[in-house]
Amino acid sequence: MGCCLFSCKHDVDKIKDQIDRSLLNTEHADSVTIYYSKDGFTKAQLFTTTFNHVQDAKPPYIEMKNGLRVIFYNDSMQQQSTLTAKYGRYYEHNNNVLVRDSVVVRNIKNEQLNTEELIWNEKLQKFYTDKFVKITTPTQVIYGDGLESNQNFSDYSIIHVKGIIGVSKSKLPIQ
């Protein structure tokens, strides 16, 4: 019996070498809801299924690999717009959320933005992109490169408009 107890000797340095240090500086959570507020009012609610806080990166960030959905509210807590994307990354140092892959923003005026990449500045409550955008409204489809908008997507401007197509309401491609 004594032989068995002392026959296993662990080399502490070998164990330290086998530890993945990146896991020690990452927090993980599933099914997360985050509330964003400003001046005592809830401005947005973010939902994500997978949440990884990577602390040892320069700069640190929160990664949402499996998509996210954000609901934006006015001061009366009435929903004003929604944002969905398949990927998101929140940079704490500048309050920017970078969303990519099938980004869709919809507002209460039945207008829809489609793009592949968008930055949401939570502090300024604005959206930005320099990528291709498509905006579908009840009467037209607008194409361009680059966009600036408030987070409610009620006041936006396309930087380089490529084309505007008028459509009848019955043939509108909004889903």
* Spatial CA neighbour of 138 closest among 108, 103, 109, 115: 109
- Going by the DSSP 8-state scheme, the letter that residue 93 receives in this structure is T
Average pLDDT over residues 3-12: 53
Is residue 59 over pLDDT 80? yes
- Split at pLDDT 50, 70, 90, the class of 172 is low
b/e burial code for range 106-123 (CB count within 10 A of at least 16 → b)? bbeeebbbebebbebebe
Is residue 37 over pLDDT 70? yes
Tell me the whole-structure pTM to 2 decimals.
0.79
Element (H, E) at 11: none
Tokens of 124: 């300024």
**In the chain, beta strands by DSSP E:** 26-38, 41-54, 61-64, 68-73, 79-85, 87-91, 96-107, 112-121, 126-136, 140-150, 156-166
Q: How many CA atoms lie within 13 A of 54 on its CB side?
A: 14
Average pLDDT over residues 71-100: 94
By three-state DSSP, how is residue 159 classified?
A: strand
- Gap between the Cα atoms of 166 and 168, Å rounded: 7
- Give per-residue pLDDT as tens, 126-160: 999 999 999 999 999 999 999 999 999 999 999 99
State how far the alpha carbon of 167 is from the alpha carbons of 1, 108, 144, 172, 174, in Å: 85, 19, 17, 6, 11
* Spatial CA neighbour of 104 closest among 32, 173, 31, 34: 173
Average pLDDT, the chain: 86
Is residue 34 over pLDDT 70? yes
State how far the alpha carbon of 58 is from the alpha carbons of 55, 93, 97, in Å: 8, 10, 16
- Gap between the Cα atoms of 46 and 154, Å rounded: 19
Where do the domains of the chain lie, and which CATH numbers do they carry?
26-171 (2.60.450.10)
- Split at pLDDT 50, 70, 90, the class of 39 is confident
* Spatial CA neighbour of 118 closest among 82, 146, 77, 92: 146
pLDDT of residue 165: 79
